[in-house]
Structure 1
């Protein structure tokens, strides 16, 4: 029987590479470490490696972890980088609103001129000037955070997109100003105009867009009574300005346009304003972007409060996608987590 040739595989180098890549290695990397094709076949036969994608292996025979699937996708499509939700995950963002289906797919970014068919469980997006948007020094390579975030947000309903951006700001991973800077370079991004006006409002610390959206999409569209706006009132702590006041129903709507955690001083100020309103027998509602961007759902809440406090009118159906029935009540078939068409 012929003697088996001595392997020239750098075993120590392979061990280090597997450690750095979460136990994942490509066929090309094995060859670069001195492995022969026979070495690769032997590692697979001994079950020291198992196939994840064609030409990409993991160092066990069980189910690959999320990190291993991300590494495998990047190596299978190399040169490539994690993108969208996969990049957000790699950057350390917690996406509580993601569904299991969202996380089952690995998203990668490749150069526009590439023509490849992604393996199962992997989606690709092609981009010109890939180096502009990718951090090649991270392991695995990943799209820059703001780019991946805006791309992920662009495929969601406006309310869900703003919730995703707000989560990122709240977790300290970016700012509205940085997002605006990147958005300026993405002229073809779906939903760019709407996201831009919201981010401009947040970056400037104003609420003008939020206030217009509430007036147009919540109050007027659903037949709610017209509130008094920006009313100045004397109080024990000085002059306060109320965003919206429904005087006959003794109800205030204070619109919260912030993304993420506001500082303690703002919260104490809110509490003081609410206390003074309660002394005057007013109830205070504090909707933010997430609520105003689901206007039908918010209209039900505001209408219910106003009706309990004396309003004799009824909210109305605003259009074909409205979640309020013709009688002013919530549509019993409405599910807030169901996909809806953008307004």
Structure 2
């Protein structure tokens, strides 16, 4: 490869655009690099170093853009749109580190309806009539323009498999990257969202304090209904030098129900932490009752009966 062109590609960390090349070297040098297999066009006017492309699989049937990997692909899209769009949908979720895209996955970008951009092999262009490519609609993250975390989560609701739909939203709220209220505002502002009822229900559960799929399931199947108190969720209690957050707390009875997920079962270190925390809460007069994932899912009626009996025993006679 021509030495000057090679330096441009190195400065671009594996990418170069035609507009940059033409400012420095003649057009034929770029054409020769492509003919020699040193550069590959991955998008209109955007080229990648050939050695960065994944050589596995059917090369003829796989778009070059998806063969350079999601990280380099995101930079290629940003160079292509040149301020006319922002990474969005599943690609935005990856930028927000809520769900990783894998090599070969379709990349996504949103643009105003008047941008003139169209789909290209490996990238889906979502045209939005009222999209403004500036804060608060679009922000810069990892040096790339990306739609807000709330917009990305709502946009991806039905793009994800049913088993994966709730996890990114729950994680975003748990990590305090957003709130149920901000997510609900975006949902209200979106005219058409398939699965709106299910999404609205999830946001309601998050607003009520549920912080995991297991807590949501327990709320809907076990810990509401006749006889159950209005549990407080994620109640903060000072325990020693730290704050503890109680999954479900019945304040009059001073009972804390903890829902232990399947991943914590059999972990000796986590078990020791839980026992120490339970003892500290007991010193404050709070009874901790733990239900394992297996019992919650496999014996919901028995868990409900036991919970009601424990609560009854703690009430003043």
TM-score (norm 2): 0.58
The answer to whether residue 281 in structure 2 is matched with residue 272 in structure 1 is: yes
The answer to whether residue 126 in structure 2 is matched with residue 125 in structure 1 is: yes
SS in 1 for 2:185: helix
The answer to whether residue 31 in structure 2 is matched with residue 30 in structure 1 is: no
Once the two structures are TM-superposed, the CA of residue 120 in structure 1 deviates from its matched residue by 2.1
Q: Which residue of 1 aligns with 2:46?
A: 56
- The answer (yes or no) to whether the contact 1:219–1:299 under 8 Å persists in 2 is no
Write the distance in 2 (CA, Å) between the matches of 1:54 and 1:231: 58
Once the two structures are TM-superposed, the CA of residue 157 in structure 1 deviates from its matched residue by 6.1
Write the distance in 2 (CA, Å) between the matches of 1:271 and 1:228: 28
Q: Which residue of 1 aligns with 2:298?
A: 300
**Which of 168, 177, 202 lines up with 2:206 in the alignment?**
202
- The answer (yes or no) to whether the contact 2:138–2:146 under 8 Å persists in 1 is yes
CA RMSD of superposed structures (Å):
5.0
- The answer (yes or no) to whether the contact 2:113–2:129 under 8 Å persists in 1 is yes
**Which of 49, 70, 77 lines up with 1:73 in the alignment?**
77
Q: Which residue of 1 aligns with 2:291?
A: 285
**Which of 168, 181, 186 lines up with 2:185 in the alignment?**
181
1:131-210 aligned within 5 A: 131=132, 133-135=137-139, 139-156=143-160, 160-203=164-207, 205=209
| Structure with more strand by fraction | 2
State which drifts further: 299-308 or 188-197: 299-308
Write the distance in 2 (CA, Å) between the matches of 1:77 and 1:23: 18
SS in 1 for 2:228: strand
Q: How many residues are treated as equivalent by the alignment?
A: 254
Write the distance in 1 (CA, Å) between the matches of 2:280 and 2:198: 31
Where does structure 1 lack aligned partners over 5 or more consecutive residues? 1-8, 221-225, 233-239, 244-251, 257-263, 292-296, 310-343
Cα shift readout 1:107-133 (whole Å, capped 9, x = no counterpart): 111222456542222222221222253
Write the distance in 2 (CA, Å) between the matches of 1:206 and 1:42: 59
Write the distance in 2 (CA, Å) between the matches of 1:269 and 1:199: 30
